[in-house]
Structure 1
Amino acid sequence: MSDFAALYWEQAEASAQVHFVYDVAAARVVFVNSAYETVLGGHREQVNDELGALLDRLHPDDRAYLAQYWKVLVRGQVTDEVEVRLLRPSQSEQTFCLTPYCSSKGSSSLLVCGTLRDISAAKSYQRNADAFNARKNATLEILSHDLGGSFAMMEQITDYLVEEIAVAADSQAAKLLQVLQNTSRNSLKLIRDLVAIEFLSGVDADLQLERVEVGAVLREPLEQLKLGQGVLGFHFAYALPPEPVYAHLDVNKFNQVLTNLVSNAFKFTPDGGQVAVQVETGPDCVRFHVRDDGVGIPAALQPHLFERFTSARRPGLRGEPTTGLGLSLCQTIVEWHRGTIAVVSAEGSGSTFTVEIPLAL
């Protein structure tokens, strides 16, 4: 045994991750470390006898995807990590990260080396974080529309009182009206700035793409949007595909895109109007439609909607301001996902924004 091979063996044996070497031509595992027994519950001396049962535990939705990955891997064209889901006897999922870190061609065989590390706890943490972000975004929407609307009304009433009521400029009443005017204006600005800053800070974070089941990761944020808009008295509905659909998403960033599109839809939809999100599967993509029956977008503005600091920006029907950045940032995030975003709209007939993201095949 060479010094390099001995060093690798010692490091592999000490590792808590599963290390393996697989002979492709012989279709056999020629090495697996002791972590195989503690992590996967097998017996290392019987690993080849147990391999079939282990592959049977692969999540049904992952089998075709991993089979394609393996075909490309053994051609030496893939070094990227891939997530692998195994089902326990209880049918609960155990998620691993497979890292193919070495492959070497011998005279008659190809050896594929790799590690498996259990990331189930990290995935559970991420799901909880995404759910928290969904609730946070819904709460910010309520703050922006409900409290923002209340402060806007207070500002308008105060402005009216200042104009209509004759009081001495140095009187206590005039001072109180000025305080009320400043407080309502500053509170309104604070709320709207908070929502804008939250969206912008999320965009600045590094992109973290992962293969996810679209319906599973979007159901919680869409349900939170539905509950939040219900609190505000608006009508919001959503529809997800009946079958599992997989795409590579940065879940938090993509939720921000949907939240921004839904928020924009409500800005230009009168009270009593409808806003809906529909997710459907295309031949090679998953489509996200955000539809409203609001006032629509003038044809002259539509070519400029996705420009940064666009001249097409308009205040909402209830006076909501806009920076002209939201749709530009949405387009940027969608393009990071190798997708597209488009709009179909007519004045008086509402708008439909459509995002297309490639399927994870």
Structure 2
Amino acid sequence: MTDFADFFVDQAAASSHVQFIYDVAADRVTFVNEAYEKALNGRCAHVNEELPALLARLHPDDRAYLIHYCKLWVRGQVSDEIEVRLQQPGQPDQWFCLTPHHQATNGRVLIGGVLRDISVAKRHQQNADNFSSRKNAALEILSHDLSGAFGIVQQVAQYLTEEVTVPANSRVGDMLRVLENTSRSSLKMIRDLVNMEFLSSANTDLKRDRVEVGTVLRAPLDELQRGQGTLGHAFEYSLPTEPLYVNLDVNKITQVLANLVSNAFKFTPDGKRVAVAVEPCPGCVRIRVIDEGIGIPAALQPQLFERFTKARRQGLRGEQTTGLGLALCKFIVEWHGGTISVDSAEGVGTTFTVEIPQAESEIAAL
């Protein structure tokens, strides 16, 4: 047994991640490896004296979260990893991922685990999420703008074909048919491209992180606001005034948001408003996408979230739809344990409401 103990001590000493053991009854750290000194700028021999100052560096929004987690940890009721932030004066927060362990023997409770610095990975993930948000917003706006233009060209070509008398031996008729067919195929290609991107992303594995919803949604909403502004559309949004933490797959939820906003503009006349409101509600976060558009007939509303729904309609500017978008939104939202609903009246407008549960520890801390 001593050989095994020596092996694990040597392995911990060689690790680049912080490994520790804490005696709950004694209220002391009984073991910490040398990685502690590099990762947290402490001294192993003085870890217990340094622990209060280290805990004081916890991000304020993570303290209640960690307290709730620790209560379960001491009882041996957690096995999931947890991510927390440590503040550094004048520098970005340090992100750490804790892999927990619990042992209870002869009435003695020990908790411990591995603490990994994931700050670089977090920054890379944030950059990737921001890039994805910009890509999704650009795709939706580009498809909306181009679809509208090609739709108009197709309608003009159809009108000229029906109304203009073409002289004998003229190629005008053939050219109008080419113009109409090219516009129609271009519209289909654009929508297929956007739907393919949405489908491929929706079918990837769900990766949820505890995030502050206002922080992660501000960037994609800014992108949507800038993009829609360049098209001359009125778009505005509001975010919670206080931090609100939810377990989200940020990329997938921003796709849902972009899809709902794009749909809203399809059925909202020029000069009318589309808005997004992100707000807290008991035990969840609520996202409302509100438009002043033409509304949805009551007979179509029960079928909206079905795959390849018969409720699909052509947009006001000729935009086509496959009937998959809202079904995928529903799938992603329910994947998060949430709900999506619609409230609409013809001639008045439509509101889509998404509700996603807050993280369990956030609710317990209220």
Q: Distance in 2 between matches of 1:258 and 1:190?
A: 22
Q: Distance in 2 between matches of 1:300 and 1:172?
A: 46
Counterpart in 2 of 1:154?
153
Q: Distance in 2 between matches of 1:310 and 1:215?
A: 32
Q: Distance in 2 between matches of 1:11 and 1:326?
A: 51
Alignment of 1:24-63 (within 5 A): 24-63=24-63
Q: What is the TM-score when the length of structure 2 is the normalising length?
A: 0.94
Higher relative contact order (CA 8 A, sep 6+): 2
Q: 1:158 deviation in Å?
A: 2.6
* Larger displacement relative to structure 2 (315-324 or 11-20): 315-324
Are 2:286 and 2:354, in contact at CA under 8 Å, matched by a contact in 1?
A: yes
Q: 1:167 deviation in Å?
A: 4.5
Counterpart in 2 of 1:192?
191
Are 1:84 and 1:95, in contact at CA under 8 Å, matched by a contact in 2?
A: yes
Q: Deviations over 1:63-107 (max 9, x none)?
A: 00110000011111100000010001225200010001x322122
Q: Distance in 1 between matches of 2:40 and 2:168?
A: 82
Are 1:168 and 1:174, in contact at CA under 8 Å, matched by a contact in 2?
A: no
* Larger displacement relative to structure 2 (220-229 or 291-300): 291-300
Q: Distance in 2 between matches of 1:182 and 1:329?
A: 29
Structure 2: which 5+ runs fail to align? none
Are 2:152 and 2:318, in contact at CA under 8 Å, matched by a contact in 1?
A: no
Q: Deviations over 1:237-273 (max 9, x none)?
A: 0000111110000000000111111111111111111
Q: 1:156 deviation in Å?
A: 2.2
Structure 1: which 5+ runs fail to align? none
Report the residue type matching 2:157 in the other structure. Answer: T
Q: Distance in 1 between matches of 2:267 and 2:155?
A: 21
Q: Deviations over 1:334-359 (max 9, x none)?
A: 11111111111111111111111111
Q: Distance in 2 between matches of 1:43 and 1:73?
A: 25
Q: Distance in 2 between matches of 1:97 and 1:292?
A: 41
Report the residue type matching 2:15 in the other structure. Answer: S
Q: Secondary structure at the match of 2:290?
A: strand
RMSD between superposed Cα atoms in Å: 1.5
Alignment of 1:114-129 (within 5 A): 114-129=113-128
Q: Secondary structure at the match of 1:9?
A: helix
Q: 1:10 deviation in Å?
A: 1.4
Alignment of 1:65-80 (within 5 A): 65-80=65-80
Q: 1:322 deviation in Å?
A: 1.7
Q: Secondary structure at the match of 1:338?
A: coil
Q: Secondary structure at the match of 1:92?
A: strand
Q: Deviations over 1:309-347 (max 9, x none)?
A: 222222222222221211111111111111111111111
Q: 1:225 deviation in Å?
A: 0.5
Are 2:140 and 2:259, in contact at CA under 8 Å, matched by a contact in 1?
A: no
Q: 1:142 deviation in Å?
A: 2.2
Counterpart in 1 of 2:227?
228
- CA, structure 1 residues 115+168, in 2 after alignment: closer, same or farther (shift >3 Å)? farther
Q: Distance in 2 between matches of 1:31 and 1:168?
A: 95
Q: Deviations over 1:12-50 (max 9, x none)?
A: 111111011111111111111110011111001111110
Counterpart in 2 of 1:95?
95
Q: Secondary structure at the match of 2:294?
A: coil
Q: Distance in 2 between matches of 1:277 and 1:174?
A: 46
Are 1:167 and 1:174, in contact at CA under 8 Å, matched by a contact in 2?
A: no
Q: What is the TM-score when the length of structure 1 is the normalising length?
A: 0.95
Alignment of 1:1-361 (within 5 A): 2-90=2-90, 92-100=92-100, 102-163=101-162, 164-168=164-168, 172-360=171-359, 361=362
Q: 1:152 deviation in Å?
A: 1.7
Q: Secondary structure at the match of 1:270?
A: coil
Report the residue type matching 1:239 in the other structure. Answer: S
Are 1:145 and 1:232, in contact at CA under 8 Å, matched by a contact in 2?
A: no
Q: Deviations over 1:189-214 (max 9, x none)?
A: 21111111111111011100000000
Are 2:152 and 2:317, in contact at CA under 8 Å, matched by a contact in 1?
A: no
Q: Distance in 2 between matches of 1:168 and 1:54?
A: 88
Report the residue type matching 1:33 in the other structure. Answer: N
Q: Secondary structure at the match of 2:6?
A: helix
Q: Secondary structure at the match of 1:242?
A: coil
